[in-house]
Amino acid sequence: MDLTTLTIKELSEKLRKKETSSVEATKAYLKRIEAVEGKVHAFVTVTPDEALSMAEAADKRLAAGQGAPLTGIPIALKDIFCTRGVRTTCSSKMLEGFVPPYDATIARKLKEAGAVILGKNNMDEFAMGSSTENSAFHKTLNPWALDRVPGGSSGGSAAAVAALECAASMGTDTGGSIRQPASCCGVVGLKPTYGRVSRFGMIAFASSLDQAGPLTRSVEDAAIILQAIAGHDPSDSTSIDTPVPDYLASLNKSVKGLKIGIPREYFIEGMDPEVEGSIRKALDVLKSLGAELVEVTLPHTQYAVAVYYLVATAEASSNLARYDGVKYGLRTKEAGGLLDMYKRTRDAGFGDEVKRRIMLGTYSLSAGYYDAYYKKASQVRTLIKNDFDEAFKSCDVIATPTAPSAAFKIGERVEDPLTMYLSDIFTISCNLAGIPGISVPAGFTKENLPIGLQLLGKSMDEETVLRAAHAYELSGGWLGRRPTL
């Protein structure tokens, strides 16, 4: 029996029945990482000793009958979450040697649930990118086709799950960085409502947009992880203090009568015909299950990319100002004075894409341009949120493609940042509005590349999003399909 092919739910059941152990499962995953990591490059750091120690502790908890659903389950973390005693780099030279003295709330909650942390996944530097080609260390490759990108910025997390290197991984989503790589790699990616999951200890890119969430092999597994990590955190001022429902209990409720909104603005000219065809078929599946399809409109969608790249870069400019060579992280040894040290450190520590976004954000916040750019973008952001509020008056969830195309080839868009930015055109509005969204596998192209269906829900209504995604997953025919490495 290959333990690495099991879902969290399946492995958890075997652990509880004493049919296997967490140590055995952890060793199986470490062996898998050793076998395929040379092809996929999904990790920045692997921590075998720490993982086996956690697995031994999990087995003791299970033997005492104290296990939770995640106890003993080997998972990974995007290298943006602070982990006590384990380096956290954000895939940047700026933080290459940074070892945090504390755990992010996400990491702490997963450890308290008994999960086994295998290591840290590769990502676009400081979460800026759509392809995981912007890592300062190495490019992550798509397990379905090694000449394709895995998406980004959580590409390492998505690729690791797809390549069976971990049972699940935690990613972050600022403009689609969980859902888009999930679509590219044929896995499930859930972005919760902004504020549903703590951001404490999660290195900031754009503070009003960033949200942590799981990448898994099934919707049920995503619900299991969300149950463990959701909830109010006093350490995070943006964390929402509201009760956490039982996500698993809602999964198997019927979708009969559920109204699914189809926004005309998301089925655009230029979208890959294979993507549109797969999404149309997925909608037919949901309709056959009793859901009602209704047309909705999100009229300000056309401004979403422009708004996002003003708001996100402005916040990035502010957040990344702390990396100046003084407090922590990289400090250049060759400098003629304080100001020169600032300049040389930031030049050496940041990659091209990070520099590009800092410069754009600084420009939009500068005197004389703030009102014309950042302030205007913030106003249009409110209109985008209002569009969703209005649309949800006539539907329960909104269905769209996750991305306009399947995974593109490595290097294909590196020299064209604007084309790269459009990779997130269908996912960005969700972050601007702060609502939950999920990507679930919904087909494959003729070249055997995964296609994702995106479902968006009302604020704090992850239950309905998960229910609709689970219903489709069980009937869509794609559950359990894996790449061959």
* CA-to-CA dists, residue 340 to 331, 352, 362, 456, angstroms: 11, 19, 19, 47
Closest CA to 78 of 42, 40, 105: 42
Cβ of 65: how many Cβ atoms within 10 Å? 7
Q: What angle do CA 179, 184, 190 make, to 5 degrees?
A: 20
Report residue 100 as tokens: 């945090």
Beta bridge partners of 456: 398, 437
CA separation for the pair 157, 47 (Å, rounded): 15
Closest CA to 173 of 148, 150, 155, 149: 155
CA separation for the pair 217, 189 (Å, rounded): 9
Catalytic residue list: 78, 153, 177
DSSP strand pairing (450-457 vs 437-444): antiparallel
Answer whether 403's CB lies under 8 Å from 313's CB: no
Closest CA to 168 of 250, 229, 236, 95: 229
* CA-to-CA dists, residue 229 to 110, 112, 219, 254, 327, angstroms: 7, 10, 15, 26, 30
Residues 175-214, buried b or exposed e (16+ Cβ, 10 A)?
A: bbbbbbbbbbbbbbbbbbbbbbbbbbbbbbbbbbbbbbbb
Answer whether 300's CB lies under 8 Å from 387's CB: yes
CA separation for the pair 294, 268 (Å, rounded): 18
Answer whether 139's CB lies under 8 Å from 133's CB: yes
Please name the residues in contact with 243: beta carbons below 8 A apart, sequence gap of 6 or more.
none
Q: At what angle do helices 219-229 and 462-476 cross, to 10 degrees?
A: 160
Dihedral sign from CA coordinates of 9, 246, 152, 90: negative
How many angstroms from the chain centroid is the CA of residue 181? 7
